[in-house]
Structure 1
Amino acid sequence: MYPQFYEMMGFQHPGGVCFEGCPPAPNLSTTALLIDFDGTLIDMAETPDQTFVPKEVPETMSRLAEAAGGAVAVITGRSVDEVRRLLPGYTGAIVGGHGAEVLVGTDHWVHPLAGSETVAKMTQIAHALTALDPRLIVEPKPAGVAVHCLRVPEMHSRICKFMDAIRQQFPEFDVCCGRRAVELRPRDVNRADAVIRLLDRTPFKGRRPVYFGDDQLDERAMEYVVGTGGFAIKVGDAESYASHRLRGSKEVRDCLEVWSTPRRSAA
């Protein structure tokens, strides 16, 4: 629990964070699993092209998707096609671009602004940032653009201001200052709304949602999941709506491996 919860109950927060370890496996036949990708399912890389996916991950995700009747979704800022490449054989859903594209089965929805001239113009302007420091990485997105600053964290606030200046020229877009990247994306795109829509369609509808995430970008989705009777698992020690904690992506993978093993799953 975090300070605001202790204060609501009239207690003083004791300080520190408790990493409880993997929660008991839920009944996957009645569960909707929602799993953030970078920093949660896999370790965060300095640049997108340095991404490493442990060899067991695609198999674990495929077993989970089969056990859950397809009600497993990877939630990510990456494109759907990129996740498909990184998780070969995975047949569950993918929410790409933080909700700018959604793949469920053979149904692939893409935001109307994806691939537009507007996105191309924004991306071109964002590339000017590399003149400030070549360690900055500009990543084009189907419906937006991101600037990665893991290699130069001291520039994060400057990048946020620069991207906000770009946003003012494109009113259909919002700027999102995440921990590792600053992104421009359509105003009607966010993880919480994507999760709400996903949970209203087959095979997710009527199931208890469980959300794994590590970033501030996940928090509104976690809040919604917890509010509907599901639960969330936070990776790391940042403040969160989640009721459970894991230290890092290795612990997430170990947990999902346990959950994907039938003999260990809840009845």
Structure 2
Amino acid sequence: MSTVVTENSTDLPPPSFQASHQYAFFFDVDGTLAEIQQNPDAVTIPETVRANLQSLSAICGGAVALVSGRPITQLDQLAAPLTLPMAGVHGAELRDAGGNVHRVQLPEDVAQPLQKMLEEKMSTLPGTLLEAKGMAFALHYRQAMEYQQQVLELAETAVARFPELALQPGKCVVEIKPQGIDKGAAIETFMQHAPFAGRIPVFVGDDLTDEKGFLAVNAVQGISVKVGDGAGHARYHLSQVTDVYDWLEKTLLQLKQDNAGKGSRL
């Protein structure tokens, strides 16, 4: 199947899928598998969607992973009882198909003064939220949009003070994370190992944090799918989260039918 299309052609719906052994699926969570909420703790993945993810993982030999800015502990809670390979905190945490977890840690002489500085400054901006992830920090301002500029300036100041850090803007959030950590690198790492290796990667995401994931997938002629509005590097488009649910169910049905057809020809 050819996937060569014009860059930024995000008006195209994702293609049909056949031959489940050919694909590896990667999903962002917030804004992709779950509706974005004012409070990140209120986010949920519907039970039917979790069941479809479990079925997709089974039919694809385990080549399904979550790739998110959330820590793995939160992803496990959202996906329960399903246990998947995961890249948390944009890849600073990575759990492979064998259940082994690899983490990038910030040095104590960076993490402690950075957290103290962020807590002091964010406390002066009512409605903002500081989320400490251990190896990264998320500065949320969804419920205090009037402080967007101050939050961005605070994050820029932090990165200027600690050059081993990098900024990652998102929807009503800016994250501070270690240099060299992003979703594209996480997907590339997964693709080097079973059961993902040798397959065509499919990545579905919605945010600026997913753009490097789209680029990584495009570089190997994979299938990149943007959810929601806005231009970017994804080659295909779904309008909203509920469309992701419909597409996932349709994809699962296609792959099941293809497998059943092959079985009848054996």
TM-score class normalised by the smaller sequence: 0.7 to 0.9
What is the CA–CA distance in structure 2 between the aligned matches of 1:168 and 1:159, rounded to whole Å?
14
Aligned partner of 2:163 among 171, 180, 196: 171
What is the CA–CA distance in structure 2 between the aligned matches of 1:68 and 1:199, rounded to whole Å?
14
What is the CA–CA distance in structure 2 between the aligned matches of 1:157 and 1:264, rounded to whole Å?
51
Partner of 1:228: 220
Partner of 1:109: 102
What is the CA–CA distance in structure 1 between the aligned matches of 2:193 and 2:177, rounded to whole Å?
24
- Cα displacement string for residues 88-140 of structure 1 (whole angstroms, at most 9, x for unaligned residues): 122321000001010113111111328x4532332222122333332101111
What is the CA–CA distance in structure 1 between the aligned matches of 2:166 and 2:204, rounded to whole Å?
24
Deviation at 1:264, TM superposition (A): 4.4
Partner of 1:85: 77
Aligned partner of 1:46 among 21, 38, 41: 38
Q: How many residue pairs end up in the alignment?
A: 253
- Cα displacement string for residues 144-202 of structure 1 (whole angstroms, at most 9, x for unaligned residues): 11111111234223211111112222221112222221111001211111111111111
Q: Give the conservation status (yes or no) of the 8 Å contact 2:126–2:144.
A: no
Q: Give the conservation status (yes or no) of the 8 Å contact 2:7–2:233.
A: no
Q: Give the conservation status (yes or no) of the 8 Å contact 2:183–2:212.
A: yes
Alpha-carbon spacing, 1:70–1:5, altered in 2? closer, same or farther (3 Å)? closer
Alpha-carbon spacing, 1:91–1:52, altered in 2? closer, same or farther (3 Å)? closer
What is the CA–CA distance in structure 2 between the aligned matches of 1:176 and 1:63, rounded to whole Å?
32
| 1:95 maps to 2:87 | yes
| 1:66 maps to 2:55 | no
Q: Give the conservation status (yes or no) of the 8 Å contact 1:119–1:145.
A: no
Partner of 1:10: none
Note the 1:115-264 alignment, pairs <5 A: 116=108, 118-261=110-253, 262-264=255-257
TM-align CA RMSD:
2.2
Alpha-carbon spacing, 1:125–1:263, altered in 2? closer, same or farther (3 Å)? same
Alpha-carbon spacing, 1:5–1:33, altered in 2? closer, same or farther (3 Å)? closer
Question: Hey, which of these two has a bigger chunk of helix by percent?
Answer: 2
Alpha-carbon spacing, 1:142–1:26, altered in 2? closer, same or farther (3 Å)? farther
State the secondary structure of the residue aligned to 1:168: helix
The one-letter code matched in structure 1 to 2:103 is V
TM (normalized to structure 1)?
0.87
Deviation at 1:221, TM superposition (A): 1.6
Deviation at 1:240, TM superposition (A): 1.8
Partner of 1:9: none
Identity value in percent: 26
Deviation at 1:26, TM superposition (A): 4.1
Q: Give the conservation status (yes or no) of the 8 Å contact 1:97–1:141.
A: yes
Partner of 2:26: 34
State the secondary structure of the residue aligned to 1:56: helix
State the secondary structure of the residue aligned to 2:47: coil
Deviation larger for 227-236 or 93-102 = 227-236
Q: Give the conservation status (yes or no) of the 8 Å contact 2:54–2:82.
A: yes
TM (normalized to structure 2)?
0.87
